[in-house]
Chains A and B, each alone.
Chain A
Amino acid sequence: MSEHAITTFGPAKGNMLERRPLVSNQRSMGWITNHIAGMLEGKIPLWWWIALVLSAGVATLVPFQLMYLVGTGVGIWGSNQPVSWAWDITNFVFWIGIGHAGTLISAILFLTRQKWRTSINRAAEAMTIFAVICAGIFPAFHVGRVWMAWFLAPIPNANAIWPNFKSPLLWDVFAVSTYFTVSLIFWYIGLVPDLATIRDRATGKIRKWIYGFLALGWRGGNRQWRHYEKAYLILAGISTPLVLSVHSIVSFDFATSVIPGWHTTIFPPYFVAGAIFGGFAMVLTLMIPVRAIFGLEDMITRKHIDNMAKIVVMTGSIVGYAYLMELFIAWYSGNPNEWWAFLHNRVLPSAPYAWAYWSMMFCNVIAPQLFWFKACRTNVLAVWVIVQFPNIGMWFERFVIICTSLHRDFLPSSWGMFVPSINDILLFTGTFGLFLFLFLLFLRFLPAITIFEVKAVLPEADPHYHDPEAKPQHGAAH
């Protein structure tokens, strides 16, 4: 179809530029329902089974690795003095950061009335939840005796001791568990009207019963919608400071210590920007193939991809600024330890982890600058290739922060290099399998695009809309 006419309604808008519609080709509400619900109805496609089996196979590394870890001890990892936090915390921060894009899309873009969020928020929120699940594995098991992890919760116990609420590590426990809980609630509340759609379309009795149970008896009455919308608005309002707090608190784990390279006040905003950057890269990594496979080009338009690419270049530039400012302050502060850590651990070619530092710089700061060019933002394949750099770069960022600072502390006699063990690598690989496995289940069993919100951004959804062509309504009585 050719580029359709753009519908206008309401009073004449003078010389204002017309907005591109959020749903292309003037799709109707019925088409939207059929198309999105069709993704989880009918025969399961073969590619889904293949992908599911492959990802499940990789995901089995996680339970096997964890059993081995619990049975043997954290010594199976490469973490050791002086690098006592290594891939475990790197992977934790990497995964939790990926989750942030989902909450940003669902909460912050909701409050700022960015209506293009509607076709990507559901999948991004699902990604948040799965990423936080993957993230949670690492800190839970890195404590060593994981069966003692309940000591982190403020539960009366035989030792009569309580958690230390002044510790950033405990702040982390509260931040991550609150983040997971609130994200899950937010996601589920958003799902309820769409689950009702699936319920109303279901043909089998069991299917109708399951989706009916999950839809909680949703009827779509305006007396329900008004409470629903208010609750959704408030959840968005509280998720916004929450998402900013989570990665800030994660950064406090480092910033409140005295290790050179960690003890900086720039960490909270720098971590939050990096998290959103890495998260959007992952959203694009997942949604571009999903869009192609399910034919969602009319709902996730090029404009959506373009907007996300712009967010990637913006947050990537903030991250680049933070890297440079961190470096500048290391020199300007006059603290010899700080400057030495940057220069001799990271930046100079002779530094042992210079390769990691410069990989990070290239992937996070230089590669995304291609998105300044419209040709790069509108070519879907190019976008997919370019966002792989932030995916890799953001892992390197956490690795650089953690390992380069720890491997050489104040006492040169205790310096040492970090080498990951095979178990480090297998567990991290396993979390990717787990993430994809959960995402594939989500694609098949839950509506991957928010059906009711996409309908609400159609021009005819407005109660004051007048069809400019004024075709007679079919099926209407009068």
Chain B
Amino acid sequence: MILKRNPSTEPRTDMAGTLSKIHGIGAEFQNAQSLYEAAKKLKSAGFKRWDVYSPYPIHGMDAAMGLPNSKVSFFSLIGGICGATAAFFLIWYTGGVEYPMVVQGKPHFAFEPTFPVFFELTILLTAFFTVGSMFVLNFMPRFYHPVFNWDRFAKVTDDKFYAVIESSDPLFDEVGNKALLEELGGTEVTLIEE
């Protein structure tokens, strides 16, 4: 059984004449409900390297896919701690050690009159760590990804939903996975090239 390959109908070959590698097998879904049900089935079927793609975050999809809570919040906490610590050393060292000067009759170093600076630096570094860790965990920016080779995939940011099982998954099997995805309501089942 030969599956349709994208983007062209002709399989791409490299210079040595070998077929290009397969990234995975993808299926299109028409709505969030069928994608959600498909995700639950794919999870219970025991797939490991797969993802579902949607134009907006689908509520409850993490649980359907069996994904744990995101780690971003942990890095945000680290960022907040770093921000507060940086503020402490900045204010304490510059005002209390390096150039102590009596201003407004206040101590060289104290929390109360400098609290807004602590607060703002804590917020600032929390924001940096939050966004930075989100980028790292999402491998962003990554301008090339094999799923972009699938011509139908451009509709993922419009109104279509996709599920892709990657070829590195232990249960990957072109024929069997195609039958499974179609059984789950997927259409346009396609092999996606690297």
Chain A interface residues toward B at CB < 8 A: 28-30, 33, 154, 160-168, 170-171, 174-175, 178, 181-182, 185-186, 189, 193, 196-197, 199-201, 212-213, 216-231, 234-235, 238, 241-242, 245, 249, 252, 451-453, 455-456, 460-466, 473, 475-478
Cβ B120 vs Cβ A174 within 8 A: yes
Known: A30-B159, A222-B61, A227-B134. Contact between A452 and B67, CB under 8 A? Answer: no
Known: A30-B159, A226-B67. Contact between A165 and B117, CB under 8 A? Answer: yes
Cβ B154 vs Cβ A217 within 8 A: no
Binary flags per residue of B91-130, CB closer than 8 Å to A gives 1, else 0: 1001100110001101000000110110111011011101
B174 at the A interface (CB under 8 A):
no
B116 CB contacts on chain A under 8 angstroms: 168, 171, 174-175, 245, 249, 252
- Some 10 contacts from A to B, beta carbons below 8 A apart, are A29-B159, A162-B95, A164-B103, A175-B120, A186-B127, A193-B157, A217-B144, A238-B123, A452-B55, A465-B32
Known: A185-B131, A226-B67, A230-B134. Contact between A30 and B158, CB under 8 A? Answer: yes
Measured CA separation A456–B121 after assembly (Å): 33
Known: A220-B53, A461-B58, A463-B33. 7 other contacts (CB 8 A): A28-B159, A162-B94, A186-B127, A219-B156, A230-B73, A456-B57, A462-B32
B171 at the A interface (CB under 8 A):
no
Size of the chain B interface, CB-CB below 8 angstroms: 75
Chain B interface residues toward A at CB < 8 A: 30-36, 39, 51-62, 64-65, 67, 69-73, 76, 90-91, 94-95, 98-99, 103-104, 106, 113-114, 116-117, 119-121, 123-124, 126-128, 130-131, 133-135, 137-138, 140-145, 147-148, 154-159, 182, 185-187
Measured CA separation A230–B99 after assembly (Å): 42
A181 CB contacts on chain B under 8 angstroms: 124, 127
Cβ B32 vs Cβ A220 within 8 A: no
Cβ A171 vs Cβ B126 within 8 A: no
Cβ A231 vs Cβ B131 within 8 A: yes
Cβ B52 vs Cβ A230 within 8 A: no
A478 CB contacts on chain B under 8 angstroms: 185
Cβ B53 vs Cβ A219 within 8 A: yes
Known: A29-B55, A154-B94, A217-B140. Contact between A166 and B32, CB under 8 A? Answer: no
Known: A166-B113, A171-B117, A473-B31. Contact between A453 and B56, CB under 8 A? Answer: yes
Measured CA separation A160–B95 after assembly (Å): 11
